[in-house]
């Protein structure tokens, strides 16, 4: 199944509803993201927590020694135990400068995974006119998976189905007038209506409650040989790898800042992107979509 972002990449080229950052704004955004990373990493180091880059940020580290030139986000990953510990110490250590959105926290979550956003900034996306979020970094929990192959397969299937339901409810709840852009082509409208139908069927449960239930279900395996990122770009089945792919982390340089990345970054990146050293054509480059951006200097 295509990801929503895949459809949005196609739609963006046919619509004028998306705000394109100038080079100066993109540079300021990247600088802000890097400052968030440095602050979060310092707290993780203080408490002995493992924080590594993930997804496209690992790709940027290996291929570009920093941000992918046309990209403007920063993704991280943590083992579940450390992820939960960061949640516990956040208010004491980081709440003066940042807001936290994460399932099973005192505030309702805006996502399936942890997001740390900088106060006094705005990064307003396509999905909902009523939600304004600051410039943020995403932190994904790395979950243990069962050692036995059948149990692991069934857990991945269950997680992936659950995730489709949860995100469909979110799309249904957060539908926006701007999403009329889906009607540019019939196939987009069919896709969006299908997601909204699934979301409507399960919407009685509530978006934030579903986020919490998914997070609890994803975190309850105890295997030691395999890990996955259920909230990652390829979902649980696509991101299930041996633990030795991730750990122990190794040092790398990202925009001249010392970072940690997965131990076997080649296996990790090939699983996500295939021939990851090949620069994609302009039309295949992943983009992000904003309707308002304000970055405090």
Give pLDDT tens digits for 186-205. Answer: 666 777 788 889 999 999 99
Q: DSSP class of residue 66?
A: S
pLDDT tier, 292 (very low <50, low <70, confident <90, very high otherwise)? confident
Q: How far apart are the C-alpha atoms of 166 and 175, rounded to whole Å?
A: 14
Sign of the dihedral defined by the CA atoms of residues 268, 272, 278, 282, in that order: negative
Q: Is the pLDDT of residue 12 over 90?
A: no
Q: Which residue has the higher pLDDT, 119 or 19?
A: 119
Q: Is the peptide bond before 248 cis (omega within 30 degrees of 0)?
A: yes
Task: Check residues 151 and 130 and name the one with the higher pLDDT.
Answer: 151
Tokens 């970094």 sit at which residue?
137
Contacts of 219 (CB under 8 A, 6+ apart): 80, 141, 143
Predicted confidence band at 99 (pLDDT cuts at 50, 70, 90)? Answer: very high
């Amino acid at each position: 199944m295509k990801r929503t972002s895949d459809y949005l990449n196609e739609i963006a080229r046919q619509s004028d509803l998306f705000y394109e950052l100038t080079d100066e704004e993109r540079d300021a955004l990247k600088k802000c993201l890097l400052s968030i990373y440095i602050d979060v990493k310092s707290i993780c180091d203080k408490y002995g927590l493992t924080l590594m880059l993930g997804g496209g940020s690992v790709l940027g580290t290996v291929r570009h020694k920093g941000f992918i030139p046309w990209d403007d986000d920063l993704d991280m990953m943590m083992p579940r135990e450390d992820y939960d510990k960061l949640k516990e110490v956040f208010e004491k250590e980081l709440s003066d400068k940042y807001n936290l959105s994460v399932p099973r926290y005192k505030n309702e979550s805006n996502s399936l995974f942890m997001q740390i956003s900088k106060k006094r900034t705005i990064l307003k996306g396509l999905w909902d006119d009523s939600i304004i979020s600051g410039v943020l970094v995403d932190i994904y929990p790395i979950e243990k998976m069962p050692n036995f192959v059948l149990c692991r397969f069934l857990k991945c299937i269950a997680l992936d189905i659950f995730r489709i339901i949860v995100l469909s409810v979110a799309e249904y709840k957060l539908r926006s007038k701007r999403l009329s852009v889906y009607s540019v082509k019939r196939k987009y409208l069919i896709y969006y209506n299908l997601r909204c139908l699934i979301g409507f069927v399960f919407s009685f449960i509530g978006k934030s409650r579903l986020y919490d239930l998914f997070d609890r279900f994803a975190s309850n395996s105890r295997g030691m040989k395999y890990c996955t990122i259920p909230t990652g770009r390829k979902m649980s089945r696509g991101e299930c790898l041996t633990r030795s792919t991730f750990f122990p982390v190794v040092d790398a340089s990202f925009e001249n800042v010392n970072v940690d990345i997965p131990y076997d970054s080649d296996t990790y990146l090939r699983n996500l992107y295939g021939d990851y050293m090949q620069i994609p054509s302009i039309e295949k480059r992943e983009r992000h979509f904003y309707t308002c951006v304000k970055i405090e200097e």
